[in-house]
Structure 1
Amino acid sequence: MKQQEENIDKSLFEPAGVDTFSAEKIEKPSLNYWQDAWLRIKKNKAAVVSLVILFLIVFMAIVGPLISGKDFSTQTTSEANLPPRIQGLEHVSFLPFTGERTLKSGDVVNPYEQKGIDHYYWFGTDNLGRDLFTRVWKGTQISLLIAVVAAVIDLIIGVAYGAISGYFGGKIDNAMQRVLEVLMGIPNLIVVILMILVLKPGIIPIIIALSITGWISMARVVRAQVMKLKEQEYVLAARTLGLSNFKIIFKHMLPNLTGVMIINTMFTIPSAIFFEAFLSFIGLGLQEPQASLGTLIEDGFKSMIAFPYQMVYPAIIISVIMIVFNLVADGVRDALDPKMKD
């Protein structure tokens, strides 16, 4: 027995050497809240593709009106209702860019050759001979401008109103919420139409009309979040240190609501674009020679049977904008929601 014990290597019973430095080393770099959210957004393929498409649309809305070299308001009645024609694609028969038109009789004609026109209109022309390519992207630019400005105004008013109401509570909250209930009881469409009729159609009146009641949903969401956050320990610590109520609201609480505000704003923009298009479609939108996606769809609808391309292109653009904004908003919501963990 003693001989067997002597044959055992005593080094097997020595404690293993532990490298404390390596044990505490963090291999993966630490990420802050926004870096973690960006990583989750990148995993959402639909959101990433939609974001790329959205950037392309915004880019074209900025530079598109300058590409063709034609003015969006210049009328050339001798070149009215020309079909789309693009260099290099005019001889590809299965694409709708040949510059040809099929008559009701079934005959195929080429208005460019009939009128001796040697330049190209990529999206065709409208009934006044204006370049549709330029007008579509100019209309996209104006529609996006109206929607973004209205959404920013909704954000500012809604956040301030909701934060004050939720933080102070009591009689102040009760009075402010009664005002919200009165505004919510009035149909939004009626308020907007009355404002447009009073202020006359235009970019600024439409923005004001969209902003009158558009901030209500933002205010309600922010109020609910502030009522939850004001019971947190860091708010009590700020009060103990003597910070004023407004500093606590706007310096400590609102930064924690950034995700909620971004998400609601992302959903507000496509709603504003659609509402502006609706107003234009019923004749309360922008007036000539200004153009928006709504006015272009309204003009194209009048001649949809004879010249469908006049409505197709702006309809495609507004549809794509609505889809990509909602997909991006869904992706941002999932990424910023702390409960949506992989």
Structure 2
Amino acid sequence: MAQFDEKISKDQFEPAIIDASTSERISKPSLNYWQDAWLRVRKNKGAIVSLVVIGILIIMALIGPSLSKFEFDKQNTKHANLPPRIAALENVSWLPFDGTRTLKNGNVVNPYEQKQIEEYYWFGTDALGRDQFSRVWKGMQISLYIAFLAAFIDMVIGVAFGAISGYFGGRIDNIMQRIIEVLSGIPNLVIVILMIIVLKPGIISITVALTITGWVSMARVVRAQVLKLKNQEFVLASRTLGASHSKIIFKHLIPNLAGVIIINTMFTIPNAIFFEAFLSFIGLGLQEPLASLGTLIDEGFKSMIAFPYQMLVPAIIISVIMIAFNMIADGLRDALDPKMRD
């Protein structure tokens, strides 16, 4: 009972001193939605590293072919199947850039010395003697074209179609959703084959196929979000003030869906890149002498055992692209989706 005998000081019953001038002071600067999202993205190291990697790959795709003195489509059969050789790294024994390759019997040979070749092919050459370095970065341009095409289609067709369908509802929504069901029921591969029959195998056929069906998933996501928002107070207020339907859709609804749109677009990009690579791998993509990462992987796969570098280099690059875009998408989802915030 000794603990109850302790006396409580009268000072503890004094009222707190409250300074009204500082009670509502904001110690941190106010941030808008995008500034707060950027701060959250910066905390995600994987997304930042992936963003840097994508930036480097985009720069290399633009300037990479011009860094090499060899044209991507120039053939030189005397220089066929040369292994990678880099001047600054050829004397480093543990790096595979010394121009040598190991035969099946275990012997190490140097094709550059055997053929008396003085040039340096940084990524080696293919079976026709074409420079792999310039061809890889030329193929990277195709992959980036597919990536930005898929993003553009999602942003324009998918967002507009889904927003209009969800906003008006009723008969318009039923008709537009039946169109989506028909398009989603047709596999992309079938559409590409039909485009090849009408057109020719190449980038145009892939572009048309993506334009026809690439926006369906985005339209469904946007429609579902618009159905949630169209009866909220800010939309009803805009209607009361006499705002037109187009103004409500494109000025009020779509800006409130920016986070969802960006997240889904970033997840669409790697799928589109893989779709083009798959088509090129099975022979339905680009045709010679054009190159994409898919065609380079297909060509390297045919001689993978003898010349593994011909497939490894484009395979590593396309893997890095897809992983980086997925990491960026994960970072943006954590930053822009309110449900993911702690």
Interval containing the TM-score (normalised by the shorter chain): over 0.9
Show CA shifts across 1:24-83 (max 9, x none).
221100110011111111111211111111111111111111112221111111111100
Matched, 1:285 2:281: no
Is the 8 Å Cα contact of residues 277 and 292 (structure 2) preserved in structure 1? yes
Residue aligned with 1:208, SS: helix
1:154 aligned partner:
154
Matched, 1:272 2:272: yes
The Cα shift of 1:16 comes to: 7.6
Residue aligned with 1:91, SS: coil
CA distance in 2, matches of 1:95, 1:246: 60
Superposed, 1:58-97 pairs within 5 Å as 58-97=58-97
1:5 aligned partner:
none
2:133 aligned partner:
133
The alignment-based identity, stated in percent, is 73
The Cα shift of 1:234 comes to: 0.8
- The one-letter amino acid of 2:96's match is P
Is the 8 Å Cα contact of residues 154 and 211 (structure 1) preserved in structure 2? no
The Cα shift of 1:113 comes to: 0.8
Matched, 1:169 2:158: no
* CA RMSD, Structure 1 to Structure 2 (Å): 1.8
CA distance in 2, matches of 1:151, 1:242: 33
For structure 1, the 5+ residue unaligned runs are 1-12
CA distance in 1, matches of 2:165, 2:14: 67
CA distance in 2, matches of 1:317, 1:20: 60
Show CA shifts across 1:172-201 (max 9, x none).
111111111122222222122222332212
1:324 aligned partner:
324
Superposed, 1:37-116 pairs within 5 Å as 37-116=37-116
Is the 8 Å Cα contact of residues 154 and 214 (structure 1) preserved in structure 2? yes
1:206 aligned partner:
206
CA distance in 2, matches of 1:163, 1:141: 32
- TM-score after normalising by structure 2: 0.93
CA distance in 1, matches of 2:196, 2:294: 15
The Cα shift of 1:115 comes to: 1.2
- The one-letter amino acid of 1:135's match is R
- The one-letter amino acid of 2:174's match is N
CA distance in 2, matches of 1:195, 1:263: 30
CA distance in 1, matches of 2:117, 2:291: 25
1:313 aligned partner:
313
CA distance in 1, matches of 2:145, 2:181: 29
Residue aligned with 2:128, SS: coil
CA distance in 1, matches of 2:273, 2:319: 10
2:215 aligned partner:
215
- The one-letter amino acid of 2:222's match is V
CA distance in 1, matches of 2:215, 2:19: 58
Question: Paired residues, what number?
Answer: 332
- The one-letter amino acid of 2:289's match is P
Residue aligned with 1:272, SS: helix
Distance 1:311 1:318, change over 3 A: same
CA distance in 1, matches of 2:146, 2:203: 7
The Cα shift of 1:15 comes to: 8.0
Is the 8 Å Cα contact of residues 99 and 111 (structure 2) preserved in structure 1? yes
Is the 8 Å Cα contact of residues 333 and 340 (structure 2) preserved in structure 1? no
2:261 aligned partner:
261
Matched, 1:190 2:207: no
Is the 8 Å Cα contact of residues 276 and 285 (structure 1) preserved in structure 2? yes
1:246 aligned partner:
246
CA distance in 2, matches of 1:191, 1:299: 25
Bigger CA drift: 146-155 or 125-134?
146-155
The Cα shift of 1:150 comes to: 2.8
Is the 8 Å Cα contact of residues 151 and 272 (structure 1) preserved in structure 2? no
- TM-score after normalising by structure 1: 0.93
For structure 2, the 5+ residue unaligned runs are 1-12
CA distance in 2, matches of 1:149, 1:182: 22
CA distance in 1, matches of 2:234, 2:192: 41
Distance 1:317 1:66, change over 3 A: same
The runs of at least 4 consecutive aligned structure 1 residues that moved more than 6 Å come to 13-17
CA distance in 2, matches of 1:245, 1:24: 41
- The one-letter amino acid of 1:161's match is F
